[in-house]
Amino acid sequence: VRTWHRVVPGSVATRDYNYRTAGTPMDAGVSVRNDAVTSGEHYRYAAPYLEAGDDADPEPITESGAFYARLHHERELNKSARVHLFSNASGLAPGQVLEPQGNVIAALKEGVLLTLVTFRGA
């Protein structure tokens, strides 16, 4: 088992311009709480949204600025830890959650979502 960790942005801020409502601010920023090591802010301009949305809402309105900021931040948080392991279990498939038992590495204690499975034969 090999694990990788990396620092990811602590928050994501988005900004856009809607010519129909030019006087309305189109800024949104989201910070999702997580155990990952975070630092700084990821700034994104010209995301495809027409309203800023509520930054404090845990589930913002779909296709709002807060929605896209949260989506991008969660995507970055998912990149904070990677696990590479070898197994002879042929039943593993992407989308499954692997929940190891017993003494495990700290990165694996809450389970691992399988996103890529490669099979090799001789």
Structure confidence by residue, pLDDT tens digits, 68-83: 888 888 888 888 877 7
Same domain, 70 and 98: no
CA angle 54, 57, 61 (to 5 degrees): 60
Same domain, 15 and 72: yes
Same domain, 92 and 70: no
Q: Domains in the chain: how many in total?
A: 2
Confidence at residue 95, expressed as pLDDT on a 0 to 100 scale = 92
Structure confidence by residue, pLDDT tens digits, 44-55: 888 788 888 888
Confidence at residue 94, expressed as pLDDT on a 0 to 100 scale = 92
Structure confidence by residue, pLDDT tens digits, 81-95: 777 888 888 888 999
Tokens representing residue 100 in the block = 């190891």
Confidence at residue 107, expressed as pLDDT on a 0 to 100 scale = 66
Strand, coil or helix: 108: helix
> Rounded mean pLDDT of the chain?
83
CB 3 within 8 A of CB 112: no
Q: Which residues constitute the domain of residue 109?
A: 85-122
